[in-house]
Structure 1
Amino acid sequence: MSTDRQAVSPKDPATPEAAPSGAEAAEPQAAGAGAGSAGPQAQPPVPEGDAAQGEEGAAVPESGSGAGPAPDGGSDAPEAAVAAASDVDSDAPETEAEAEAEAGAEPGAGAGAESEAGAAAGEVAQPVVSEAAAELAAQKVERERIARRKAERQAPVEAGAKLSGKAADLLAAVRAVESGEKPSPVYFDEAPVAPRRAAEAPAAPRPARPAVPAPTAAGVDGVRAVLARGGAPEALAVPAATALGEAAAERLAEDPWQLLAVAAVRPAQADGFARALLGPEAGPGDERRAAALVGWLLGQAALKGHTALEAPALEAALAQYGVPDPAGALERSIGEGAVLVFQEPLGPPVAEGEEQPVRVLVGLEGHALAEESLADGLARLANAFDAPADWEKAATGPGAELIRAVSGHGLVTHTGGEAARAEPLALLAAARDLGLRVCLAAHTPLHGAVAVADLLSGAAGPGRDADGQFAVDLLVVLDAPQLDVESAAALVESVPDGARLVLSGDPGVLGSAGPGRVFGDVLAARACPQVVSRTPDPGPVGELVSGIGVGELNQVEAPGKEVVIVPVRDAGEAVHRTVQLVAESVPRAFGIAADAVQVITPGHGGSAGTRALNTALKERLNPGPGRFGGFDPGDRVVHVPSPGRAVPATVVSADAQGLHLDASGARIVVPKERVETQVRHGWAVTAHQAVGARWPAVVVVLPGDAAQALSRDWVYTAFGRAERHLSVVHGVDQALPRAVAEVLPKPRTTRLTGLLRALVAAARDQPE
């Protein structure tokens, strides 16, 4: 990182000419990041606890218009109740739009409002099971295998020692559920337990990833009939039948709130559906409603990055949705095994006889198992000290510090900016020279690297051995902040004993779209060597981004106009100037082709969001009638096969099979029934979609209607995507410097740091 820079006041704006080229180099000054229609909404205050939400995992769409629960059991509580429970307002314009628009879902109205809810439901009702759903089902199979393996262990999980009060009560409920017993109304467990045993290596091959079976025609028809009775859109039949599985119609008729299992459905809609089916019985205190809301709230929190929520915050959110006894509803969910509860010590250990302060966390089983499996795998690697190769001979030149760390440790973290990527590459070259099997993985495909998703699926990479482990001696993962807990657990479990894992990335960028804060938690646990790169990012852009990383928006010397500011008065002018920059100014001034210029903006909606910008850019760069789902050959697009994964591509052609794309030489065929939900134009993207990639020139558009969407990590990520030139189109005076200096990424509620720290410490304390 560059540390030698001239600080200037962000209040000293530059005044470039209004020429289309934006030829005056200037400091990007105060500007708002346009969120368009997805801007954060006002949220009712709810106790936050120690951890909340981070970056761009999907937010919660608006549903209903009221501010509180309806007396008859329906709820018009705003989705801000979920935001309050999980502190989900960070980067909502970008992340919610990605998680929903990429899934084809738009916020709807009540279940009985055919005009709006029907349109929303129509976008989620797909006759073919999506790749994302198949992935979730496969991960569920894997989690079950992990659970069986954990059950075989003799030592109990470390928890519960010296606890009393509600923490002990809730923990006892979980133990009773895990043992198969029905907990009593009052839970007591104050007996100390043995410490948790060190992690074991995975033994069984990973199961094949099965496809989610499509619902039968009869099953869909049965669900359709129940939906019709409740006044819900018919288009929900396929997704509801898929989500609820066998006997979906019977389950839905008996418990209408299970409609919340469908992604586009919100509590107000489910309440209206339940009232239509059950009549006066559908009150706010119905146990079925409370149980469904517990799961839905945790699911929405997971979309915002949390793997758990603090019990008081969850109870407060239930109260805002009109549940009369939130604590009782939560305890019933725990007792029935619908959710799991955990306790985490707060502060250092206390003296014997004193009560250890704790926080009580509640989470979904899948996320809990994934986080524990990930901690086990990381601890297994961190406690390995085998060094069969002569690494010291290779520990010279760039990457020497990283090579030395990897020589004696099975798990190493590496942090740095874009230029620091040269160090993991030097490590890989040294390992190859030693005859080791190596693999480089990244969030998005790079030269010489495979995408993490392709590595896990087997579509690329070294393959697996007879035990289901990767056939590697060294695995280096770039863009580690993009790992969510599910993919990280699958990745780490596949690293064999004796192999080394290096997690490398820039902690300043936006985090994963899915639940978890894997890279940050591993760094916080300090369970392995941490190599911090001293390689600065070059040039004026690198210097600017380096300052943003420490909260400073500095003026930088840009003699070659590497950084240019383009002030605008409104969103319309922002769109106009952006098109000029991409099509004319940047190509003329820097010799960079228009298709090598990437536009980044905070949100999909609004007058200067990705939709509006892509419409204007297509009209200028590749006009056409949109013969196939709005696309024409030559269109720049983003393919989103699953939430959080965006693959830049170009449209080649279309036929009966679907839309044919070229993604850096790889051909992709998107079935026509999935084009609407998986493909969007890509001249303009959000910062989260841009993570892991870089372009010769980047135009960051910050329209004035989205100042609240800006944060330091958003600005750091967006500006850092530029290699040679950065243009900033902005329309807000002081929002940009204020965001860089003051608006930090919001934390996520996770358990990985504590789990990993305890496992590594326990293993190192064991006698040889």
Structure 2
Amino acid sequence: MTEPAGETAPEAPEAVAPIDEPVAEPAEDVREGAEATGPAESGEPAETAEAAETGEAAEAESETPDTEAGTAAAEASEASDTPELSDAQAELAAQRELRARIEARKAEKEGPVASGAKLSGTAADLLAAVRAVEGGAATGSAFYEAPEPAPRRPAPEAAPAMTVRPPVRNTAPTPAPGTTAAVREVLARGGAPEALAGQVAAVLGEAAAAALSEDPWQLLAVPGVRPEQADGFARALLGSACGPDDPRRTVALTVWLLEQAALQGHTALELQALRAGLARLTVPDPDKAVEVAVSEGAVLVFQEEQEEREEPAEDTDTDEEEPAEAAEEPAAPVLLGLDRYALAEESLADGLARLVRTATADAWEGAELDRAAGEHGLVLHTGGEAARAEPVALVAAARERGLRALVAVHSEDGRRALGAAGADAVTVAALLSGATGPGRDEEGAFALDVLAVLDAPQLDVETAAMLVESLPDGCRLVLSGDPEVLGAPGAGRVFTDALAARVCPRIASRVPDPGPLGELVSGIGVGELNQVEAPGKEVVIVPVRDAGEAVHRTVQLVADSVPRAIGVPSEQTQVVTVGHGGSAGTRALNAALKQRLNPGPGRFGGYDPGDRVAYAPVPGRTVTGTVVSADAEGLRLRCGDEDVLVPKDRVESALRHGWALTAHQAAGTRWPAVVAVLPGDAAAGLSRAWVYTAFGRAERHLSVVHGVDQALARAVAEGVAPERTTRLRPLLEGLLATPEE
């Protein structure tokens, strides 16, 4: 392997005892974290980057099979008892309001969600089942009751309690205590932990007890419950009245597999992958299971139109031998998905097309990005960290023209990284929740003429749909980001699909990232692990033999070597590793770093004042901070410039120690120093995108704790991140004419 310059390990401080004892894992129960592998990999014990990190913002819900138990999401605190909403509750309320508007818009259109054009074979049979549901010949409410269409842009109301996890359904208000008590009784009869009663009642509503008694597999709707646990619960309740081919079971498993796929970023699955996943879950007839799930309205079926090719002119020369019959074009794959992602992708495509069609072309002077934004309603901008300055400058110029312009970023740390230029920037989450931003007009749209969104690869499809839905006609939207980084922690690949669709101008920045780190990361982006000159120890390689040594050396680097040799204190040094599990995953590293940097008994749910933490206020977003104190209400954190309260019942599900993060958690944020940990058992989880993202989090210094031998070079040269199955690209291509080849 070609190693960057500066490969000599930092001078070792006094010895730190190696961490020989594994982190204690609680006993398994029904609340154990659900597998993060999708249908194509379900049941394989892997701690890969995608499997361990996708959907990471809800962290506790998307673990692989070898991860710790007891991480199911808790209910949000009841809003009706508090005079003011917390930031998380306000954000959830805004998300529900916007989802309702998306659904209302769809309801106003003629006909159902557009899908299934020119189906044949099995796809046609599945579509016929869907049409039966739409025509009233079959019921589609077995699993999801469709909400009543909401007004166009209603005033936000107090947020009801929700189960916070990806994927999250529209939920009813917090059930009465009697409902929870009835659910607790049903759980006890089935041998399930009674502690799940609150979550079951929140997910299934006031009739939860009756629904669960009639269909025990609805327990899978609770985050963290696995199929084998739901099967055991069903057997305890129903006895011989249930079997592996029970329609209730097969429908629930079909939905569960699609939800697990969403944790890996898919908004839909190919029919064959879904069949294979059902077969691994011992469903006797996967084809029938899919048909039943479609006929019950639990899933939707799609097949994109194939472009018709002109038939060649008929050959009139009868003397020549007739050519063999041409092979038929392969049919487009049949896709199945959940309605929430179908609605989000179609609403996003419609919204982007609306911006393209309603923008008035103006001649703006300035850089290439400025000119493109002046002429078009949607512009895509690509580049590295240094290129972030270009959309910021665009917004500043737009304000000088008298336009209402705004910069939105993925994280608060990303906003602060802009320096003085980011003083007026906001996070996407704060903008959507109404916590900050320009406010809304009488129609509920943002009072904006130009919006530039940085870190656009971190937009999942639902967040992007809510954002675009909130933009007024004629607003110009600039999506800016680095297409080489890992994708969003939620479902979808908005930025990648928009780039691939070629439906709007794409401006590539020519500003390179500076210094040895910029040179190293730029090379990784094109598949080359280059040797770079690092006279100031900007890049250091620390070879290790095994995972135990990787943990030991990481603690040395963070606690002593980097502060002493580089001048970056421990609190500004971030550890990034491949996954949560394993002997050098985030759990093991955080335990060792806490022991060295902030030892304590973990008096408050495993945390002590001074602990560095990663907090997921809502699915898809992770913020880092420090524990300040604890009281009867919960843990109080300091996250940047903000004081944050984590309710007591959400500490277990929404909080982790944060000295070590996964690359998905770290995306969108940079630190003065980064220690990237690559133990030997992480080799299978490496990809070029992972290496690019992890190494690119460092501003001044990068230490690579290297134990994967040649796997690092192979990952950079050949390691392609797993593809996500989505529908946004063909939807955009169908709505907008292609402006270029």
Equivalent in the alignment of 1:231? 191
> Amino acid of the residue matched to residue 358 of structure 1?
A
Deviation of 1:10 after TM superposition, in Å, equals: 2.6
Deviations 1:490-549 (A, max 9, x none): 000001111111110111111111111111111111111100111111111111101111
Change in 2 beyond 3 A, CA 1:758/1:722: same
Equivalent in the alignment of 2:497? 521
Deviations 1:452-489 (A, max 9, x none): 11111111211111111111111111111111111110
Deviations 1:41-88 (A, max 9, x none): xxxxxxxxxxxxxxxxx99528xxxxxxxxxxxxxxxx7755369999
Cα distance in 2 for residues equivalent to 1:639 and 1:763:
43
Give secondary structure in 2 for the equivalent of 1:692: coil
Deviation of 1:152 after TM superposition, in Å, equals: 2.6
Equivalent in the alignment of 1:95? 53
Cα distance in 2 for residues equivalent to 1:355 and 1:739:
34
1:680 and 2:653 correspond: no
Equivalent in the alignment of 1:16? 8
Equivalent in the alignment of 1:726? 702
Alignment check: 8 A CA contact 2:54 2:62 kept: no
Equivalent in the alignment of 1:380? 354
Deviation of 1:552 after TM superposition, in Å, equals: 0.9
Equivalent in the alignment of 1:31? none
Matches within 5 A, 1:151-230: 151-154=107-110, 162-182=118-138, 204-205=152-153, 208=156, 210-212=159-161, 213-230=173-190
Change in 2 beyond 3 A, CA 1:443/1:265: same
1:443 and 2:410 correspond: yes
Deviation of 1:160 after TM superposition, in Å, equals: 5.3
> Amino acid of the residue matched to residue 95 of structure 1?
E
Equivalent in the alignment of 1:533? 509
Give secondary structure in 2 for the equivalent of 1:693: coil
Give secondary structure in 1 for the equivalent of 2:737: helix
Deviation of 1:560 after TM superposition, in Å, equals: 1.5
Give secondary structure in 1 for the equivalent of 2:669: coil
Unaligned stretches of 5+ in structure 1? Answer: 1-8, 23-34, 39-57, 63-78, 110-118, 185-201
Alignment check: 8 A CA contact 1:108 1:264 kept: no
Deviation of 1:140 after TM superposition, in Å, equals: 5.5
- Candidates 310, 317, 337, aligned match of 1:351: 310
Deviations 1:203-253 (A, max 9, x none): 922552642322222111111111111111212211111111121111111
Cα distance in 1 for residues equivalent to 2:111 and 2:540:
61
Cα distance in 1 for residues equivalent to 2:686 and 2:511:
27
Alignment check: 8 A CA contact 1:345 1:359 kept: no
1:641 and 2:617 correspond: yes
Change in 2 beyond 3 A, CA 1:302/1:443: same
Give secondary structure in 1 for the equivalent of 2:234: helix
Alignment check: 8 A CA contact 2:406 2:448 kept: yes
- Matched residues, number: 675
1:314 and 2:274 correspond: yes
Equivalent in the alignment of 1:66? none
Cα distance in 2 for residues equivalent to 1:600 and 1:550:
22
1:631 and 2:598 correspond: no
Equivalent in the alignment of 1:74? none
> Amino acid of the residue matched to residue 418 of structure 1?
E
Equivalent in the alignment of 2:577? 601
Equivalent in the alignment of 2:631? 655
Alignment check: 8 A CA contact 2:47 2:579 kept: no
Change in 2 beyond 3 A, CA 1:286/1:610: same
Deviations 1:90-139 (A, max 9, x none): 52463169356445989699xxxxxxxxx945854558479989967865
Deviation of 1:762 after TM superposition, in Å, equals: 9.8
Change in 2 beyond 3 A, CA 1:468/1:85: farther
Alignment check: 8 A CA contact 1:36 1:604 kept: no
Deviations 1:314-372 (A, max 9, x none): 122222222222222211221221111111135x4333799882221111111111110
Alignment check: 8 A CA contact 2:542 2:704 kept: yes
Change in 2 beyond 3 A, CA 1:80/1:760: closer
> Amino acid of the residue matched to residue 378 of structure 2?
L
Equivalent in the alignment of 1:425? 392
- Candidates 11, 19, 41, aligned match of 1:83: 41
Alignment check: 8 A CA contact 2:117 2:303 kept: no
1:568 and 2:544 correspond: yes
Which of the pair has the greater relative contact order for Cα pairs under 8 Å at 6+ separation?
1
- Candidates 338, 353, 361, aligned match of 1:364: 338
Deviations 1:709-733 (A, max 9, x none): 1111111000000111111111121
Deviation of 1:173 after TM superposition, in Å, equals: 3.0
Equivalent in the alignment of 1:467? 443
Alignment check: 8 A CA contact 1:509 1:713 kept: yes
Cα distance in 1 for residues equivalent to 2:680 and 2:155:
50
Deviation of 1:631 after TM superposition, in Å, equals: 2.5
Give secondary structure in 1 for the equivalent of 2:614: strand
Alignment check: 8 A CA contact 1:107 1:120 kept: no
Cα distance in 2 for residues equivalent to 1:577 and 1:515:
35
Alignment check: 8 A CA contact 1:307 1:363 kept: yes
Deviations 1:662-697 (A, max 9, x none): 211111111222222222222221111111111111
Give secondary structure in 2 for the equivalent of 1:344: coil
TM-score for both structures, normalised by structure 2: 0.84
Unaligned stretches of 5+ in structure 2? Answer: 15-21, 26-31, 80-86, 141-149, 162-172, 313-327, 417-421
Identical pairs, percent: 62
- Which of 605-614 and 203-212 deviates more? 203-212
Alignment check: 8 A CA contact 1:142 1:206 kept: no
Cα distance in 2 for residues equivalent to 1:340 and 1:89:
30
Cα distance in 1 for residues equivalent to 2:204 and 2:530:
53
Equivalent in the alignment of 1:114? none
Equivalent in the alignment of 1:282? 242
> Amino acid of the residue matched to residue 270 of structure 1?
A
Alignment check: 8 A CA contact 1:36 1:706 kept: no
Give secondary structure in 2 for the equivalent of 1:761: coil
Equivalent in the alignment of 1:738? 714
- Which of 135-144 and 420-429 deviates more? 135-144
Alignment check: 8 A CA contact 2:91 2:429 kept: no
Alignment check: 8 A CA contact 2:55 2:489 kept: no
Give secondary structure in 1 for the equivalent of 2:358: coil
Cα distance in 1 for residues equivalent to 2:564 and 2:6:
22
Change in 2 beyond 3 A, CA 1:268/1:420: same
Change in 2 beyond 3 A, CA 1:366/1:729: same
Give secondary structure in 1 for the equivalent of 2:41: helix
Change in 2 beyond 3 A, CA 1:515/1:12: closer
> Amino acid of the residue matched to residue 124 of structure 2?
A
Cα distance in 2 for residues equivalent to 1:548 and 1:37:
37
- Which of 302-311 and 137-146 deviates more? 137-146
> Amino acid of the residue matched to residue 553 of structure 2?
R
Change in 2 beyond 3 A, CA 1:162/1:344: closer
Give secondary structure in 2 for the equivalent of 1:358: coil
Equivalent in the alignment of 1:622? 598
Give secondary structure in 2 for the equivalent of 1:546: helix
Deviations 1:549-583 (A, max 9, x none): 11111111111111110111222222222222222
TM-score for both structures, normalised by structure 1: 0.81
Change in 2 beyond 3 A, CA 1:36/1:378: farther
Alignment check: 8 A CA contact 1:97 1:603 kept: no
- Candidates 647, 655, 673, aligned match of 1:671: 647
> Amino acid of the residue matched to residue 2 of structure 2?
P
